[in-house]
Amino acid sequence: MDKSIKKTAMIWGAICLSMTCFGQGRAQEGKEDAVSWPLSSVTVYESGAKVERSGAVRLNDQGMKTVRIGGLAEHVDEAMLQLNLDEGWSLVSHVFAVTTIPAQKVEAEKEQGLIKDEISRNRQTHSLRDALKVAYEEELAMIRANRSVSGGELLLVEDLREHADFWRERVKELQYKMLELRMEMETLDENLAALEQRHADWQAKANEREGQLTLRFAGPPNGVSTIRMSYVVAKALWRAVYDAEVDENGAISMRRFALVEQNTGNDWVDVPLTFLVGNPLESIAPPVPVQKRLTLTRSGSTDTYSWEQSEQMDDFEDVEAKAMNAQAFAGPLERYSFIPANSVDILGNGTRERIYIEDIQLEGDLSHLLLPAYADESYQLVNSGEWPASNLLPGPVQVLTDGVYRGSYFMRLPAPGDTLQIPLGQDSRVRSTRQRLLDQCSSSVLGGTRKTAQMFEIRLENQHNRSIILRVEDGFPVSNSSDIQVEPLSLGGGDWDRNTGSLTWDLTLAAGETRTLMFGFEVTYPKKRALQGL
């Protein structure tokens, strides 16, 4: 062979060999490993949760590997994916997709085929029994139609008796057979319904979807590393709930619980949990600070916050609404984390769990609040000023005193430095009566204006065998027109807020003491106008 031809053949051989090796390398690189990495830990936010998983990855001879991790939630924030990588390793690409589960679909199709065969046999048996039942019904109808003896033939008594016995026995036999058929057909109907439900359940299982995260790694050839991965999922949240027991001296024993719910489709079984106040970051970039603006709202109390009735513990809004409400629970500086004392399994189907976190002890003082315009009985309160050190969060509170459940309310927190008040319900032993003193009320006209004077008396009574601290709240009407003027005639020793009209007394009543408070006001308005709301 000519040397030039031999050299050309060698070159082409080398090219083909290199192309073959390159193709094999690309084929090996493109091979995916379908894996399921176990959960390592979960951090639950007020809206969403950070999930951590880990698994081993081995690179191929070219230092490449593609791993497809299945069994994830459908709602994963791919932008918040984080991985720990050994030196020399890198993440080439990552893709998140939601798809059906192939193995589960194959299993469902197999089971559905078997169920269809059972349904077919059930329906065939039901049709046969129905046909036999029709035959029995026709025979019974024929016997009943021919049960009378007609014609001129004279029958002996023995013949009549034999005829009657035959009619009776055959009718009874047919009725028993028809009853057995009806019972068998009812059982077939029940079995058919159960089979159809099983078929529907398998169809739902076949349609179930999961999140799959495909990661492509590069690094040293044949390198091995344990990868820890974290990502943020939606449809998970928690909020704080409390049991509060108050003793006769005002000491408060609170138990903090986490009411947690997640609907990710993945059960959190024997996984370390952390409950974090605040929501997960939306990206790795720093958030843009938002200016705080202060506004004033009308409060039902003279304190900086008001009480609200608690919703039932098992009444929740939907996940999205709760997530929006939860965002108001904590400001930028309130970043608390809580680790439950015991491990708890949390199902991924939205089942709620109440998880014990810790005990909280607060010192408190008992007081009473009287609202004579609305109720005769007082409301007992316990006041605590040291609550900020306990990292309290807003949430429902179930209140007990002396082992008696008093009710529940939604606890909103005052500003740090203000006093936290926990309501204990009504106390019938601290009472008040409020009445208008008609003999001191008057009305007069001067020029184009009319003046009306109103006087009231509040009688207080402490039936306890100890002294109490008491706040009484009443008020003057507030004008919403420049033509109406309200001025006090007597404050009775109370503090009047001209802007809100509230009139308050802070008192101490001795055991068994009664006391009377009097107050009044004068309203001036145009003579030709009618005054409403007094």
Handedness of CA 392, 398, 404, 407 (dihedral sign): positive
Domain boundaries, the chain: 24-101+209-232, 104-147+159-207, 236-281+300-418, 437-526
Largest CA distance in the chain: 139
CA pair distance 213, 68, nearest whole angstrom = 6
63-81: string of b/e by CB count within 10 Å (b at 16+)?
Answer: bbbbbbbbbbbbbbbeebb
pLDDT score for 334: 60
CA pair distance 156, 164, nearest whole angstrom = 12
The 8 Å CB, 24+ separation contacts for 447-450 are: 447/527, 448/526, 448/527, 448/528, 449/524, 449/525, 449/526, 449/527, 450/524, 450/525, 450/526, 450/527, 450/531
pTM: 0.70
CA pair distance 137, 143, nearest whole angstrom = 10
Pairing outcome for strands 404-411 and 420-436:
unpaired
- pLDDT digits over 149-177, tens only? 555 555 466 666 676 777 778 888 888 88
Run of H or E residues at 210: strand 209-218
CB 149 within 8 A of CB 163: yes
**pLDDT digits (tens), the chain, 534 positions:** 454 444 444 434 443 444 344 344 444 445 788 899 999 999 999 889 999 999 999 999 999 999 999 989 988 888 889 999 999 999 999 999 988 877 888 888 899 999 999 999 999 999 999 998 898 888 888 877 776 655 555 546 666 667 677 777 888 888 888 899 999 999 999 999 999 999 999 988 888 888 999 999 999 999 999 999 999 998 999 999 999 999 988 899 999 999 999 999 899 998 999 999 876 655 666 666 666 566 555 444 444 455 565 544 444 444 334 433 444 444 444 678 899 988 889 999 899 999 999 999 999 999 999 999 998 999 999 999 989 889 999 999 999 988 889 889 999 899 888 999 999 989 999 999 999 999 999 999 888 899 999 999 999 999 999 999 999 999 998 888 888 899 999 999 999 998 888 999 999 999 999 999 999 999 998 988 888 777
CB 355 within 8 A of CB 341: no
CB 69 within 8 A of CB 97: no
Give how far the C-alpha of residue 115 lies from the chain's centroid of Cα atoms, to the nearest Å: 37
One DSSP character per residue, 447-480 reads: TTEEEEEEEEEEEEEE-SSS-EEEEEEEE----S
Rounded to the nearest 10°, the torsion over CA 524, 526, 530, 532 is: -40
For tokens 């299945």, name the residue: 70
CA pair distance 481, 10, nearest whole angstrom = 106
One DSSP character per residue, 114-146 reads: HHHHHHHHHHHHHHHHHHHHHHHHHHHHHHHHT
For tokens 């894996």, name the residue: 35
For the beta sheet containing 395-401, the strands, ordered from the edge strand earlier in sequence to the opposite edge, are 308-309, 404-411, 395-401, 236-246, 252-262, 353-362
pLDDT score for 89: 95
